[in-house]
């Protein structure tokens, strides 16, 4: 199964294309999970992935509110595929899939896939060299998503270093303007060739067209999940689960690599260890942002209690989690405000964490915009 975050009619969804069912049979079904409502749905028969024969996807990426699926394998038939498909959730049911007619230069599955600067990258992967025998590949190519008719370009992208193939892992792509040390790079995390796996990671620089080593995973794994998560100090690359040694040995571990992005939001408290009766102030500074957002200012306290700041009323807090401001169209200039100016009441001793963040409008406060999240710890004596 392959997961991508998409939007349909304003609702953010995580899409799952095809895969294998519990009985081992392949499926063309497309499923979607909506985090905002914690609901899942099967799309109709008209929106099944139309690739034939049915298969596992090779690589899946998202760009500009469309999903691109390329390559794939069918282990029952010992075959691999090169076709490229587009899924547009804004189209009517039954019209969302399109065969783009631009095959990969080398048919394969288990591809490391990502998008950087508007290009979809297909890195490595596996094909079948014989019955039930997978072969790891070093081929790397890219597709300009603004000029799809030009097709996949293998010549413009260096193959994996040393011609050593790998697949069954995860790729993370970072645009050149990402604002951190990995801007303009692709990171490959783990992977292998059935029935072996490794912890090796690689970094590819799109400007220099060169590969280099990157810190290895803590645990060798293949067929794992991966996600880029916005953390308080910047983006974090996460990998989850996977397999090791044999397919039946499924891992339950997860690990992360933290990137430090330049902060775009800062929180300042006047005293991290105030006493009951003291006045606690919390100030926020937010750099300009073009996108619409919801602002959240939360205080997490002892016994899982949660308080919310109230915009324009720094002398009080509200019980429970609620947005500080909703559907703000953006900030054209730096914003500064005092969120709290409160005499600490008796009976509130303990440890508190203040969290202020900007998230896409209408989304729960779990995925903030990169750089627009900050925390401060306060212990009331």
- pLDDT (tens digit per residue) in 33-56: 988 889 999 999 999 999 999 999
Could you tell me if 304 and 350 lie in one domain?
yes
Could you tell me if 95 and 118 lie in one domain?
yes
- CATH classification of the domain holding 60: 2.120.10.80
Could you tell me if 145 and 292 lie in one domain?
no
Q: Answer for the pair 215, 190: CB distance below 8 angstroms, yes or no.
A: no
Q: Answer for the pair 4, 14: CB distance below 8 angstroms, yes or no.
A: yes
Residue 217: pLDDT band (50, 70, 90) is very high
Could you tell me if 357 and 235 lie in one domain?
no
Q: How would you class 264 by CB atoms within 10 Å of its CB: exposed for 0-12, middle for 13-18, buried for 19 or more?
A: buried
| Beta pairing partners, 295 | 325, 358
What is the residue range of 222's domain? 3-258
Return the percentage of the chain with pLDDT > 70, whole number: 97
Could you tell me if 325 and 341 lie in one domain?
yes
Whole-angstrom distance, CA of residue 62 vs CA of residue 64: 7
Could you tell me if 371 and 313 lie in one domain?
yes
Whole-angstrom distance, CA of residue 38 vs CA of residue 42: 14
Q: Which of 232, 258, 284 is the C-terminal boundary of a domain?
A: 258
Q: Which pLDDT tens digit goes with each residue over 193-215?
A: 887 899 999 999 999 999 999 99
Please state the domain count of the chain: 2
Could you tell me if 184 and 272 lie in one domain?
no
**Ramachandran bin of 305, using left for φ above 0, alpha for ψ from -120 to 50, beta for the remaining angles:** beta
pLDDT for position 157: 97
Q: Which of 258, 282, 300 is the C-terminal boundary of a domain?
A: 258
Could you tell me if 177 and 272 lie in one domain?
no
- Whether the pTM exceeds 0.75: the reply is no
Could you tell me if 230 and 282 lie in one domain?
no
Q: Answer for the pair 296, 306: CB distance below 8 angstroms, yes or no.
A: no
Could you tell me if 16 and 120 lie in one domain?
yes
Could you tell me if 248 and 269 lie in one domain?
no
Could you tell me if 232 and 276 lie in one domain?
no
CB atoms inside a 10 Å sphere around CB 74: 16
| Beta pairing partners, 273 | none
- CATH classification of the domain holding 348: 2.60.40.10
The residues near 88 (Cβ < 8 Å, ≥ 6 apart) are: 65, 66, 67, 96, 98
Q: Which of 258, 277, 299 is the C-terminal boundary of a domain?
A: 258
Q: Which pLDDT tens digit goes with each residue over 67-110?
A: 999 999 999 999 999 999 999 998 999 999 999 999 999 999 99
- Pairs from 245-254 (Cβ < 8 Å, separation ≥ 24): 245/195, 245/197, 246/195, 247/194, 247/195, 251/219, 251/221, 251/224, 253/219
């Amino acid at each position: 199964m392959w997961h991508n975050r998409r939007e349909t009619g304003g609702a953010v969804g995580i899409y799952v294309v095809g895969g294998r069912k519990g009985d081992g049979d392949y499926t063309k079904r497309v499923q979607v999970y909506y985090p905002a409502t914690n609901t899942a749905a099967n799309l109709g028969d008209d929106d099944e992935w139309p690739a034939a024969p049915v298969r596992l996807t090779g690589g899946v990426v998202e760009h500009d509110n469309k999903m691109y699926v390329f390559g794939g394998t069918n282990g029952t038939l010992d075959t691999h595929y090169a076709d490229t498909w587009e899924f547009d959730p804004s189209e009517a049911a039954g019209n969302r899939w399109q065969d783009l007619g631009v095959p990969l230069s080398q048919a394969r599955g288990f591809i490391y896939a990502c998008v950087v600067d508007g290009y979809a990258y297909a890195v490595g992967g596996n094909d079948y060299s014989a019955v039930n025998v997978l072969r790891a590949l070093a081929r790397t190519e890219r597709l300009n998503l603004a000029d799809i008719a030009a097709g996949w370009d293998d010549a413009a992208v260096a193959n994996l270093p040393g011609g050593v193939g790998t697949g069954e892992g995860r790729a993370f792509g970072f645009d050149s303007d990402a604002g951190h040390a990995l801007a303009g790079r692709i990171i490959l995390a783990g992977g292998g060739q059935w029935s072996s796996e490794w912890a090796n990671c690689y970094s590819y620089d799109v400007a220099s067209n060169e590969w280099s080593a990157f810190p290895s995973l803590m645990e060798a794994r293949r067929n794992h999940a991966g996600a880029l998560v916005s953390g308080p100090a910047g983006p974090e690359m996460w990998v989850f689960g996977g397999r090791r040694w044999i397919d039946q040995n499924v891992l339950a571990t997860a690990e992360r690599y933290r990137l430090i992005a330049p902060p775009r939001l800062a929180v300042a408290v006047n005293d991290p260890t105030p006493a009951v009766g003291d006045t606690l102030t919390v100030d926020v500074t937010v750099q300009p942002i073009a996108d619409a957002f919801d602002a959240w200012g939360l205080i997490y306290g002892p016994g899982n209690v949660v308080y919310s700041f109230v915009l324009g009323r720094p002398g009080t807090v509200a019980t429970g989690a609620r947005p500080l401001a909703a559907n703000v169209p953006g900030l054209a200039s730096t914003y500064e405000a005092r969120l709290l100016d409160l005499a600490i009441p008796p009976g509130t001793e303990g440890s508190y964490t203040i969290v202020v963040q900007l998230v896409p409008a209408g989304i729960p406060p779990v995925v903030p915009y990169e750089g627009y999240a900050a925390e401060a710890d306060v212990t009331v004596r």
